[in-house]
Amino acid sequence: MPHSRRYRSSERSSRGSYHERYRSRKHKRRRTRSRSSSSERDRRHRREDSYHVRSRSYDDHSADRRAYDRRYCDSYRRNDYSRERGEAYYDPEYRHSYEYRRSRDREGSYRSCKSSRRKHRRRRRRSRSFSRSSSQRSRQSSRRAKSVEDDDEGHLIYRVGDWLQERYEIISTLGEGTFGRVVQCIDHRRGGARVALKIIKNVEKYKEAARLEINVLEKINEKDPENKNLCVRMFDWFDYHGHMCISFELLGLSTFDFLKDNNYLPYPIHQVRHMAYQVCQAVKFLHDNKLTHTDLKPENILFVNSDYELTYNLEKKRDERSVKSTAIRVVDFGSATFDHEHHSTIVSTRHYRAPEVILELGWSQPCDVWSIGCIIFEYYVGFTLFQTHDNREHLAMMERILGPIPSRMIRKTRKQKYFYHGRLDWDENTSAGRYVRENCKPLRRYLTSEAEDHHRLFDLIESMLEYEPSKRITLAEALKHPFFDMLEMEPSTKMWDSSRDISR
């Protein structure tokens, strides 16, 4: 749905005020004419459309809204694109200085000129006003003259070419989430480097989450000043008229967006190995510093550079992409939680949510390990392991893929409504039961090869998808798993240069 557009009442004037300006000095009348024309141009520019991306939320949905194959139903993941009308925002701080300079220039010229030369100079100024550079200055001053505005959802209204903090020049929109928008900017204080600027909605709960994220990012910068641990680097942050803004290094596509653009073609196993190793290393760094990410998913793992090679598959008659470098960064620390902080009851996006979170048994760092297991599986097969939006169905899928839920967890949980006589209350003869039976199978049956390397991968995934958090593998142990033994011999590691400055 397009947002409702707001127009400044100051741009519209009454008939009486128009005649008063008409009777005033001619140079003042010209300034009014110039403003009205730039106002008209602004209204035309406001019709520009912008794409935005909706990320998956934590909210659960009814079991009726169930998709049967995410590879052919992008809206199931709620990551589809839609069009939205954009508007410009304006910075009021330039208005007075601009008008004061214009009035002084004109006043000086009128005083210094003789009456016989006034008409000649006026004609010269009028002709110059139609030059390209003059019209650009007029449009720029008109944009700056108006106040900062938000749309009905709290998003900052901006337009390509606008500046923030006299430093960040907006050049494109990268994406949108429930928190706000991410735009690509030129940072004029860093030699024109390209950065990603996260602009948070002017809504208190999102602003508070942004403050918490800034706190986490500052701790990460403090603990890892050389950015060796593959977490996204924050350069700067500021409050812009109620919008918290965070400046990051500019990265490539997310691992999910690349998968989606590649028709959900799975990553080759050597790329899965390298990406999995980096994710484990980055999240282990967080765990070592008493942090839990809580929202790990392919959307929050970005390639440093998502350039790819294109090959044609004769058998399937389609182009297939292969990313050139599998160097990644972990992003989005808005939900990251320190051990000493309050732990929300529900965390993680549904498809990557650990059983202890669903059963409200309390969670800590092992819930991240479960999410990583789901992510690695998705890289390997190209689709989500647990494709559901319902708790009971989610637990049924777990039992179908991983075996029965331990009786100790069933006895301990407060969510007894999901169980009956110590077993999951689930009827396989219903439509939901048939869906789970037809679309889920034991984990090892998802193997695409009987090669030892593939079995090692699934051994790692199984150890990450252990029901009991206390028995689940730690990331320190995972990094030593035999699946990663071949990492040093594979060419993908040569492209992994975590110290490279990727801001551009």
**Residue numbering of the annotated binding site for ATP:** 198
State the CB neighbour count (10 A cutoff) for residue 303.
22
From CA 462, how far away is CA 473, in angstroms rounded? 9
Pairing state between β 308-313 and 318-323: antiparallel
Q: Which residue has the tokens 């028709």?
A: 263
118 contact partners, CB below 8 Å, separation of at least 6: 110
**C-alpha 30: how far from chain center:** 45
Sign of CA dihedral 189, 190, 193, 199: negative
502 contact partners, CB below 8 Å, separation of at least 6: 249, 250, 251, 304, 305
From CA 361, how far away is CA 368, in angstroms rounded? 15
Considering the candidates 151, 295, 332, 390, report the single residue annotated as catalytic: 295
DSSP state letters, 44-96: HHTT-EEEEEPPPPS----TTS--S-GGG-GGGGT--EEEEE------GGGHH
From CA 330, how far away is CA 375, in angstroms rounded? 13
Q: Are 54 and 177 in contact (CB under 8 A)?
A: yes
Q: Which residue has the tokens 């819930």?
A: 367
Q: Are 63 and 432 in contact (CB under 8 A)?
A: yes
The three-state (H, E, C) secondary structure of 114-137, written as one string: CHHHHHHHHHHHHHHCCCHHHHHH
Annotated binding site: 198
User: Given its phi and psi angles, is residue 158 left (phi above 0), alpha (psi -120 to 50 degrees) or beta?
Assistant: beta
Nearest Cα neighbor of 301 from 264, 274, 341, 339 is 274
Nearest Cα neighbor of 387 from 2, 55, 70, 42 is 70
From CA 372, how far away is CA 378, in angstroms rounded? 10
Q: Are 244 and 200 in contact (CB under 8 A)?
A: yes
User: Given its phi and psi angles, is residue 82 left (phi above 0), alpha (psi -120 to 50 degrees) or beta?
Assistant: beta
Active site residue 295: yes
From CA 453, how far away is CA 444, in angstroms rounded? 13
From CA 294, how far away is CA 308, in angstroms rounded? 30
From CA 175, how far away is CA 243, in angstroms rounded? 17
Active site residues: 295
